[in-house]
Amino acid sequence: MTTAPTPASAPPPAPATARRRPGPSGPAGERGGATGGRRPGPEAARRKGPRFTDGDGRRITAGALAGRYVLLLGVLLLTVGPFLWQLSTSLKGPTEDIYSSPPSFLPADPTLHNYARVADTIPVWDYALNSLLVAVASVLTNCVGAALAGYTLARLRYRGRGLLTLVFIVAMLVPVEGIIIAQFQTMRELHLNNTLLGVVLPGCVGAMNVLLMRNAFLNLPVEVDEAALMDGANAWQRFTRIALPAVRGTLAVVAIFAFMGAWDDFLWPLIVLSDSSRFTLTVGLNYLHGTFSNDPRLVAAGAIIAVAPLILLFVCLQRLFFRGVGEGAVKG
């Protein structure tokens, strides 16, 4: 299910997908392999001043290592700092000067007051619930739809399979921004504009996810299917009992990216939802910003409410996020 370098414990079907994709943790996988013989003895290291070895067994001088950490901390400040500044702003009380120069980085008297005020200003918890509903629905439909379609593209034989594959490739290449007006028209005709169902539907089975699943199923050894056939398993049984458990990893990736995509989406909900009682968090946040931008504390609290669940999810499932990007983009 993961690309973790634990060759001994991996169950037989999973490595078929894992092995083909050197994930971002790739260097870790090579650990101790090719370099074993080249590693200098401890004497050699001592002779040339302080040296360290990294996880791959490569030598690195103390100066280079320190330089690396300085750079890493610099980039860290640039990437995570803005989030922390937003968090700090959201915790500053109404009497604290948020415009002070030089700036005060920590709230003098941290308070959750702003979070309560956001809830008084916009129905932020309703919006969060809407976002959650949309995201969960999107996860379910994407997992089911993409697994089914991916399986039929990869493991069943019939006339028209090539054409079917082409349909999904074309669908993936069509830029969403270009069809959004027509999608809005379709939703109006179906009377689904201004509903959460209307938000979910266009992205409920992403063509890219179908192709990801197809790829995962293709990598399963064919012998497994043959053995199941001998036992008289029909297509549905082969799908649910044999193929699906073997591609859990990819399925998890699809689930995570479906959740993130639905939770973070802005343009489509902005177009399809017009009634402010139906907003998702992103659209609600934009509304909050537009209406109450004179108080950055309030907007900051709203932004933290919107981003905190995803950061938590990310911290828990970091490896799967990275694998998804690796699988989606790097091939050959």
Partner 1 sequence: MTTPTAATPTTTGPPAGRVSRIRRHLPFTPWLFALPGLAVAAAFVLYPFGSTVANAFTDRRTLVAGQWVGAANFQEMARDPVFWTALRNSVLYLVGVVPALVLLPLLLALLVRRQIPGITFFRGAFYTPVVASVVVVGLIWVWLLDDRGLVNSLLETVGIGKVGFLSDQWLLLLSAMFVTVWKGLGYYMIIYLSALANVPRELHEAAAVDGAGPVRRFLAVTVPAVRSTMVLVGALSSVAAFKVFSEVYLLAGPTGGPAGEDTTLVMLVQRTGTGLTGRVGYASALSVVVFVITLALMLIVLRAGRKEDA
Our finding on whether 318 is near partner 1 (CB under 8 A) is yes
> Buried b vs exposed e over 209-244: b needs ≥16 C-beta within 10 Å?
bbbbbbbbbebbeeebbeebeeeebeeeebbeebbb
Q: Between residue 213 and residue 242, which ones bind partner 1 under the rule CB under 8 A?
A: 214-215, 218-219, 221-222, 225-226, 229, 234-236, 239
Our finding on whether 178 is near partner 1 (CB under 8 A) is yes
Q: Between residue 7 and residue 26, which ones bind partner 1 under the rule CB under 8 A?
A: 20-24, 26
Sole binder of partner 1 in the list 185, 240, 277, 291 (CB under 8 A)? 185
Our finding on whether 303 is near partner 1 (CB under 8 A) is yes
Our finding on whether 184 is near partner 1 (CB under 8 A) is yes
DSSP 8-state symbol, 61: E
The rounded distance, in Å, linking the Cα atoms of 168 and 150 is 10
Of 47-55, 111-119, 132-140, 240-248: span binding partner 1 (CB under 8 A): 47-55
β-strand partners of 51: 61
The nearer residue to partner 1, 30 or 96, going by C-beta atoms, is 30
Sole binder of partner 1 in the list 2, 121, 183, 194 (CB under 8 A)? 183
Which residues have a Cβ under 8 Å from the Cβ of 110 and sit 6 or more positions away? 91, 92
CA angle 72/75/79 to nearest 5° reads 135
The nearer residue to partner 1, 65 or 136, going by C-beta atoms, is 65
Of 42-50, 110-118, 122-130, 159-167: span binding partner 1 (CB under 8 A): 159-167
Sole binder of partner 1 in the list 19, 46, 48, 161 (CB under 8 A)? 161
Q: Between residue 93 and residue 132, which ones bind partner 1 under the rule CB under 8 A?
A: 99-103
Our finding on whether 320 is near partner 1 (CB under 8 A) is no
For the record, the structure tokens of 191 come out as 């009377």
Our finding on whether 266 is near partner 1 (CB under 8 A) is yes
Our finding on whether 259 is near partner 1 (CB under 8 A) is no
Sole binder of partner 1 in the list 10, 56, 113, 254 (CB under 8 A)? 56
- Count of all residues that appear for the chain in the document: 332
Torsion from C-alpha of 44, 47, 50, 51, nearest 10 degrees: -20
The rounded distance, in Å, linking the Cα atoms of 58 and 35 is 8
The nearer residue to partner 1, 24 or 93, going by C-beta atoms, is 24
3-state helix, strand, coil in the chain (%, to 5): 70, 0, 30
Q: How many other CB atoms are found less than 10 A from the CB of residue 42?
A: 9
Sole binder of partner 1 in the list 44, 112, 116, 172 (CB under 8 A)? 172
The rounded distance, in Å, linking the Cα atoms of 327 and 184 is 32
Sole binder of partner 1 in the list 2, 111, 195, 286 (CB under 8 A)? 286
Q: Between residue 190 and residue 209, which ones bind partner 1 under the rule CB under 8 A?
A: 201-205, 207-208
Our finding on whether 244 is near partner 1 (CB under 8 A) is no
Our finding on whether 332 is near partner 1 (CB under 8 A) is yes
The rounded distance, in Å, linking the Cα atoms of 306 and 292 is 17
Sole binder of partner 1 in the list 91, 122, 154, 243 (CB under 8 A)? 154
The nearer residue to partner 1, 157 or 191, going by C-beta atoms, is 157
The rounded distance, in Å, linking the Cα atoms of 235 and 305 is 45
